[in-house]
Amino acid sequence: MLLEVKNLSIYYYTLAGTVRAVENVSFTIDKKEWVSFVGESGSGKSTVAYALLNLVPSPGKIVNGEIIFEGKNILGLTKDELREIRGKEISMVFQDPMTSLDPLRKIGDQIVEVMTEHGMEKDEAYNRAKELLRKVNLPEDRMSYYPHQLSGGQRQRIAIAIAMAFNPKLLIADEPTTALDVIVQDAIMDLIESLKKEGTSIFFVTHDISLAAERSDKIAVMYAGKLVEFGKVEQILENPLHPYTQSLLASVPDLWSEKEIKAIPGYPPDLRNPPSGCRFHPRCPVFNEKANLKGVCDSIEPETIEIEKGHFVSCHLYR
Ligand SMILES: Nc1ncnc2c1ncn2[C@@H]1O[C@H](COP(=O)(O)OP(=O)(O)O)[C@@H](O)[C@H]1O
Ligand code: SF4
Ligand SMILES: [Mg+2]
């Protein structure tokens, strides 16, 4: 096992109240495994992603839980120890590559710097930078370009090249293709997959369950700060257990059928004051149909149970 997250809870302490953004989330990622976190906007996916390097932005605080990476407790490391891991053993790629690129400096210098910061000699780093550009299918002359001279897709390739510099053990990719058109998106997904082939595990975030289904080994479904279902892709697609997962899958357009797409009615809740019991109950079609669930789903928090090996769900229907 590469990464183990146990009972992670993260709150944002805002002036308008405490946002319970992530609550009691547990999961694991194995070596060379691609795990995708899916769920609507605001469900806590990015907050979990940032927590993996103890980088939850203020006013966010990790209030409970453990993050064990290769036996090391990430939350117990000093800033220097984290800096050593970041970019070398764990890399991050974001939706907007400009958040990690300096607009005023040449691409080549920025790639080289990431490596020299971790102690690589300048000549070696320069050669490695050229090799990395080839790996992400960009010509070497891009070294002397500035970020604004590249397209969004090319900038994302640069961000991935930087992330690849040290053959990281884990790549955290937070909606890396959301801002790109479909063809470029596919090329970026190919690049991430090539990293996996070289031995990197992938923590991938997307709001698009069909994109997750294409490449992942496992899918984690988040709803309103809770991990409601976790399992192998086949388990999630062939036997989705949680009503929210079922709704997400029903909302995917199917090219081959005339079936109408069903949007999920209602809105995600305000996490300053999440619904009691199961956070999904106000929108859950099963709860709304079955009278015997009243007084259960709306007042008791469902526990997470393992239905078959590796397939977890948090829903009263499976007690
Ligand atoms: N800096 C912040 N301050 C206050 N609340 C935040 C902050 N960042 C995120 N949140 C809240 O935390 C919850 C989870 O957000 P986020 O992790 O960004 O979700 P996702 O990535 O799934 O869209 C949301 O309710 C969001 O409004
Ligand atoms: S616990 Fe109840 S409300 Fe929540 S998803 Fe399951 S059936 Fe629906
Ligand atoms: Mg996000």
Provide the pLDDT for residue 259: 65
Render pLDDT for 142-191 as a digit per residue (tens, 0 to 9).
999 999 999 999 999 999 999 999 999 999 999 999 888 888 899 999 99
Q: How far is the CA of 41 from the centre of ligand 3 (A)?
A: 6
User: Is the confidence at residue 100, as pLDDT, over 90?
Assistant: no
Whole-angstrom distance, CA of residue 10 vs CA of residue 225: 9
> Residues with beta carbon inside 6 Å of ligand 2?
242-243, 278, 280-281, 284, 286-287, 293, 297, 302, 315-317
- Ligand 1 pocket: which of 23, 41, 46, 228 to mutate (most atoms <8 Å of CB)? 46
Give residue 310 CA to ligand 1 midpoint distance, Å: 28
Q: Which two tokens stand for residue 51?
A: 């927590």
According to the model, what pLDDT value does residue 182 have?
87
pLDDT of 228: 98
- Beta-ladder partners of 37: 205, 220
pLDDT of residue 150: 95
What confidence tens digit (pLDDT) does each residue in 70-92 have? 999 999 999 999 999 998 999 99
CA of 256 to the centre of ligand 1 (A): 36
Ligand 3 centroid – CA 205 distance (Å): 7
Residues in a beta bridge with 65: none
> How many angstroms separate the alpha carbon of residue 240 from the centre of ligand 3?
23
Lookup: tokens for 107: 């691409």
With a CB cutoff of 8 Å and minimum separation 6, the contacts of 290 are none
- Ligand approaching nearest to the C-alpha of 56: 1
Residue 258 exposed, middle or buried by CB count within 10 Å (0-12, 13-18, 19+):
exposed
Identify the structural domains of the chain with CATH numbers, from first to last: 3-89+168-242+251-260+305-314 (3.40.50.300), 100-165 (no CATH)
Chain-wide mean pLDDT for the chain?
A: 95
Mean pLDDT for the stretch of residues 297-303: 98
What is the per-residue pLDDT for 255? Answer: 59
Residue 174: its pLDDT value, please? 97
Residue 261 and residue 252 in contact, taking contact as beta carbons nearer than 8 Å: yes
∠ Cα 221 223 229 (to 5°): 35
Residue 67 has pLDDT above 80, yes or no: yes
Cα(first)–Cα(last) distance of the chain, in Å? 28
**Atom 13 of ligand 1: nearest residue by CA position:** 21
Ligand 1 atom with minimal separation from the 44 CA: 17
The atom of ligand 1 lying closest to the CA of 58 is: 1
pLDDT of the residue at 179? 86
The phi-psi region of residue 310 (left if phi > 0; otherwise alpha if psi is between -120 and 50; otherwise beta) is left
Residue-wise pLDDT tens digits, 239-291: 999 999 999 999 887 756 666 667 788 999 999 999 999 999 999 999 999 99
Which atom of ligand 1 is closest in space to residue 222's alpha carbon? Answer: 22
- What pLDDT is attached to residue 96? 87
Residues 11-55: tens digit of each pLDDT: 999 999 999 999 999 999 999 999 999 999 999 999 999 999 999
